[in-house]
Amino acid sequence: MARPVSWHSFWVMLLGCVTLGGCASLPPQEARPQTLKLTSAPDSRIAGYLAEPLAAHPGKSAVLALFEGLDAMVARLALIQAAETSIDLQYYIFRNDDTGRLIAWQLLEAADRGVRVRLLLDDTASATIDRQLAIIAKHPNISVRLYNPSAHRTLRTLSFLGDFARMNHRMHNKSLTVDNRLSVVGGRNIGNEYFSNDESVEFGDLDLLLAGPVVDEVSDQFDAYWNAPSTYGVEQLTEVDEPAALDDFYQIVASQKLELDGHPYLTRLAKSPLLRHMADNRLNWYFGDARVLVDPPEKREGDTQSWMITPLLKEFAGAQKSVVVISPYFVPTDEGVTLLNNLVKRGVAVTVITNSLAATDVLAVHSGYSGYRERLLRGGVKLYEVKSTGRKPGYSWKGSSRSSLHAKSFVFDDTRLFVGSFNFDPRSAWLNTEMGVLVEQAEMNKALRDWLPTFLQKNTYELNLSPDGLYWHDLKTGTDIYAEPQAGFWRRLMADFLALFPLESQL
């Protein structure tokens, strides 16, 4: 029988591991090549596809909203399949599931036909796929880099504890750009739950398909991150010595393709109306001015004037008639409450849409948000909470479980729409790097505003105040509820318990 370990010995070992995590060093960067965006030739397939619509709107960017998960997946696959010169992907999460594999397979096929592929992931995305990433990086046309990586590849949690100040900063940006001519930017990561391929969860999200001048800005921010000092090649962190590793990986991919053959999800993708519209060049583009708002890669070391929170706050301050905040993780802080309530005081109609306790996948975030509801309502802010999907909600501290809302968007007046990765919370403002696109296009804004009342009616509770406190008005049934709706006793208890801790700055 093994000798029991005393508590004293346990804490000594733990302290030693944390110390090792803090002292571990990352490899040098001197020999790492710097690469930049590549644009396909004027006679390339995508250039020809876009020539007529862009020529009809000189100097303007083309924008198409992708609300449905299937459409968002179809757009990504179609772009990768059409690429002739370059593909740049930048994501916070890249799951090793059906949708992740579909995209990975298309990237391999693109690389095989000579397309340069650059895959940039936050290091948290690689925790379970480190080896796979290192193997595909052996392809001569594929490069993989990781943002702000852990020096320890197997003891990441301990490394996080030992180097918390650095490791707490993550890259939350999300973009896919092909041939420097088409981009998808928005709130979706790569995983089944973001693309309508998970029976236990459905994330309501929003991306923008982009063409025109704004795509060059998306590529510029990608280059800045790709070549940043905080980004490391996966081969610098994880070694794969087997000469036949890539060949063996192709065999695994072939087997996985056979397993997925005939999957109902593939049939659903094939029936997507967007796929037909793209094939016939019948996309209903909106044309307008668009610009990228983005944090610098070294956000934790820079001043706030270079952060995207600064131009975003200017948009809030400049609103004249109305502001709509759509944020699944909404933790306004005292400053945010003051900002929104002051807008109401000067006549701006302010609406906030976020997750209910039953719908959220991060209880700690709801705990951080719930204490601000009464102040917002007393200040005149309209507050709506999205209902649960009806399935049993998850209880995870962080990460995806069963959320109804994942879109991050701000609508300013009748003309300006922001879509990206930025939540209205302290983590997006001060800790993570974020990006998004601000579009000035009145017709698209009107379409979104016309859609919003129907969405609210079917999917949300409107919060109100009575002499006894908060109550939730179900817009669909007309009933009033006087406790957190759809949330059971233990879920409410856990949310109340988490509210006791000083976590706000990390939410």
Question: What distance, in Å, lies between the first and last C-alpha atoms of the chain?
Answer: 45
**Helix 45-55 × helix 69-82 angle, to 10°:** 120
- DSSP-derived pairing of the beta strands 175-178 and 182-186: antiparallel
Question: b/e per residue, 130-150, with b = 16+ CB within 10 A?
Answer: bbbbbbbbbbebbbbbbbbbb
Name the E strands within 165-257: 175-178, 182-186, 207-211, 231-233
Max CA-CA distance within the chain?
79
**Helix 98-112 × helix 69-82 angle, to 10°:** 10
Residues annotated as catalytic are 172, 174, 179, 406, 408, 413
Our CA angle for 253, 259, 260, nearest 5°, is 90
The dihedral built from the CA positions of residue 74, 77, 82 and 83, taken in this order, carries a sign that is positive
74 with 265: CB under 8 angstroms? no
What is the length of the chain? 507
How far apart are alpha carbons 158 and 101 in whole angstroms? 29
Q: Which two tokens stand for residue 79?
A: 């772009």
How far apart are alpha carbons 182 and 216 in whole angstroms? 9
